[in-house]
Every structure is written in structure tokens, then in C-alpha cells.
Amino acid sequence: MRALFKSLQWLEPVVELVRLGFFLTFLALLFAHLLAVVRGKSEGVRRRRANLIIAFVLVVTSIVGVTQIDTWPFSNWALVHMLRSPVMHSWQIEGVDSSGHTYLIDPGILEPVSPEDFAPSAGRLRELSPSGRADFMHFLYTRAEEGRRSVAEGKRFPANRWLLGRFSAPYHFGSRQLWSGPGDVPIQRFASIRMVFTVWNIDDRLRRGDAAIGREVIAEYKADE
């Protein structure tokens, strides 16, 4: 049904107005119930208004489920109910110091861009010309070095969290912070960084752990080049 709605372009403004109407109605019902509580209305009034909220949520959730069109805050949760391939793909950035020790680069160097928003750009790295790939990796190296220096000097990292630190609003998909103190980064600058694509089978990784992860170095940037 979602495909049918998307094929009818003239319906798009109508759908948006309906979504707005659902949201405003939801707020109005919540406000009416809150008002009944604040004003000390009888239990019967409070119960009826609470039941209206429950009925509204059930109806709108059913509509969203049938049409597969999100109507925030009511969602079809497509991210978790769709079938997925057993094979997973990801990426990581690695830094190498002058002694050859490898460090995982904290994705926080990309902020304010989130890791999931950066992924499409990383996925197209193979399509770039040699000069474009070199520029891309130089950019990553610069960001990695800025982040390394901040952490090595004890400054708050990532830079976008300078005010609230760990209490900053998280991204949609949170990831473990790799750099939390000077001991997590080399003292000297990175000699090189590389972009690595990873692939694994979910069941195989559950059995073998990280040994099941396949790695492919897509591009590398050396500081002296």
C-alpha cells in the first residue's frame, strides 16, 4: 500500500496534512488529559480522557501498520521488522604510528557528521579517481590528527561535545567511544591511516567472534607522501 501512495504524487500533500493532523490531535488529547489532572477533575473524566488517548493510539498505530507510512511518533519500525541478509558490511578507519602499532580511529573525528551518515560516502570510495581518493583520505587524516592531538592533550573529545561531554545528545545509532583518554592514542602523529571495509556472516561471527570478520583495505594515506 505504501508503494501505491508513493505512485500517486498528488496525494503527497494530503498525506503530509493527515500526518500533521494526527500529531496535533495526539498533543491535544494529551493536553486535555493533563488539564483534567491539574484541575482535579473527577476520576470518571480522567478515565474517559485516558481511554481516548489509548483508543487514538491504537487506531493510528493500526493505520500506520496497514499503510506502512510513518506518522511520527507512530512508526512502522521498518528498521527492525524487515528481513535482512545474514551478511553484514561495515567500515572502520585505522591509524598506524611510526612504530607500526595500529589504532582504531574514533568515529568522533567525523562530528558533526554521524557514522551512519558518513557510510554512503565511504561506500563510494572505490568510485573516486586516484586524485579524489587521495583528497578524501587526506581529509580523514587531517580530522584524525586533530582528534588525536585533542585527546593526547586531555581536551574534551569529540569537539562537538565540549559543553556537555557524555551528557550530550546521542546520535540515532550510538557507538562506543574509542578515545576517552591520552592512553588511547599515540603521542606522536599518525604515520598513516587507512580505510578498511569489513564483512561478516552473523551466525559465523556468533560462533567465532571477530575471527569471522573479513577485511579489505580500500585506501591508505601516508603522512610523508
pLDDT score of 81 more than 80? no
Final residue in a domain of this structure, among 30, 54, 80 = 80
Q: pLDDT category, 177, cuts 50, 70, 90?
A: confident
pLDDT score of 16 more than 90? no
Judgement on whether residues 42 and 93 belong to the same structural domain of the protein: no
100: left (phi over 0), alpha (psi -120 to 50) or beta: left
Judgement on whether residues 151 and 195 belong to the same structural domain of the protein: yes
Judgement on whether residues 25 and 42 belong to the same structural domain of the protein: yes
Q: pLDDT category, 63, cuts 50, 70, 90?
A: confident
User: Which of the given ranges, 6-20, 65-79, 157-171, 195-209, has the highest pLDDT on average?
Assistant: 195-209
Q: Specify the pLDDT at position 79.
A: 60
> What is the residue range of 21's domain?
2-80
CA distances from 185 to 5, 42, 116, 192 (A): 51, 62, 24, 14
Q: How many domains does the chain have?
A: 2
Judgement on whether residues 157 and 213 belong to the same structural domain of the protein: yes
Q: pLDDT category, 78, cuts 50, 70, 90?
A: low
Query: Model confidence over 111-126: pLDDT tens digits?
Result: 888 888 899 889 899 9
Judgement on whether residues 178 and 131 belong to the same structural domain of the protein: yes
Final residue in a domain of this structure, among 64, 80, 96 = 80
Judgement on whether residues 53 and 128 belong to the same structural domain of the protein: no
For the four alpha carbons of 15, 116, 108 and 110, in that order, the dihedral sign comes to negative
pLDDT score of 103 more than 70? yes
Task: Give the list of residues 6+ apart from residue 220 with CB closer than 8 angstroms, or none.
Answer: 137, 192, 193, 194, 195
Judgement on whether residues 101 and 140 belong to the same structural domain of the protein: yes
Judgement on whether residues 109 and 68 belong to the same structural domain of the protein: no
Judgement on whether residues 109 and 170 belong to the same structural domain of the protein: yes
